[in-house]
Amino acid sequence: LPVQSHYGRSVPSGGASGAKLRNPRESAKRTPAATAVCTIARYVLTLRRPKRQCKMQTQTTVVADAGSTKISWGVCRPNYAPEVVTTAGFNAVTARSEDFCKLYELCVEAVSELGLTALSVEEVHYYGAGCATAAINASVASALRCVFPQAQIYVGSDLEGAARALFGEGDGIACILGTGSNSCLWRGGIIEANVPPLGYILGDEGSGASLGRRLVRQALRGALGQRYRDELERDYGVTREETLQR
């Protein structure tokens, strides 16, 4: 089976994150996350494409690739180049009930930057970190529905979004390596097998959280050079006293 990472495709990073992409031939300038969002959007349009050409030209689909650090929001219309903007991130599993207002605000921000009319959006596909249970997914969908009241809304995990962008209806092993980490066996358009990542305390091996934890631990134990310890203390307040009080 082919093995690919969500960000494993060879895509130059010449384009600025969040820039609008109007030329279909400028895909080489997209960030890897933006490329993944555009790939999912095209796949969704292929599945949902209406039979009548007049409706196909007006269909608007929004796809969100949501991580803990950032969310890439893409809008795709037939016969138009995809456009992608980036906002702050959101993790649904660590969010409290009142925190879902933040997701609503991020969605409004993305709609504004994309120049969309919310009522014109027919479908929203949100693939997000922490979208692991039906209850969590329902809370995410409720926040999105406040912005897109007339749209069909689908909420899935960020791992599902990565696998769908990589393989569509094909087979393969998809991996995410970001703030957290995850992987799955993808067959015929569904996740067939997955080793639970267990979060940043028990798992998420190789992720930004895991590497950051190791760096801080070595700094506090004196295993790093003095120069690096001084920089961490100056820029991030990484001292034994400060860390233990957090």
The pLDDT confidence band at residue 46, using thresholds 50, 70 and 90, is low
Whole-number pLDDT of residue 99: 84
pTM, full prediction: 0.67
72-82, pLDDT tens digit by residue? 999 987 777 88
Q: What is the largest CA-CA distance in the chain?
A: 67
In this structure, what are the phi and psi dihedrals at residue 159, rounded to the nearest 5 degrees?
A: -65, -40
pLDDT at 194: 87
Name the DSSP class of 23.
-
User: Tens of pLDDT along 185-239?
Assistant: 999 888 999 888 877 778 888 888 888 888 888 888 888 889 988 888 888 888 8
* Position 47 pLDDT exceeds 60: no
**Cα dist. 23→16, 30, 82, 172 in Å?**
15, 11, 9, 30
Predicted local confidence at residue 25, as pLDDT: 38
Do 140 and 124 contact (CB within 8 A), yes or no?
Answer: no
> What are the CA-CA distances from residue 185 to residues 11, 47, 151, 156, 193 (Å)?
24, 22, 30, 16, 5
For CA atoms 156, 158, 164, 167, the dihedral sign is negative
Answer whether residue 173 shows pLDDT above 90. Answer: yes
Mean pLDDT of the chain: 78
Asked whether 116 and 75 are in contact (CB, 8 A), the reply is yes
User: Coil, strand or helix: which one is 159?
Assistant: helix
3-state secondary structure of 70: strand
Position 171 scores a pLDDT of 93
Q: Which two tokens stand for residue 15?
A: 């384009």
Among the ranges 15-19, 180-184, 240-244, which has the highest mean pLDDT value? 180-184
pLDDT tens for residues 101-156? Answer: 889 999 999 988 888 887 788 999 999 988 888 999 999 999 999 999 989 999 99
- How far is residue 17's CA from residue 25's CA, in Å, rounded to a whole number? 17
**Tens of pLDDT, residues 8-45:** 333 333 333 333 333 433 444 556 666 666 666 655 55
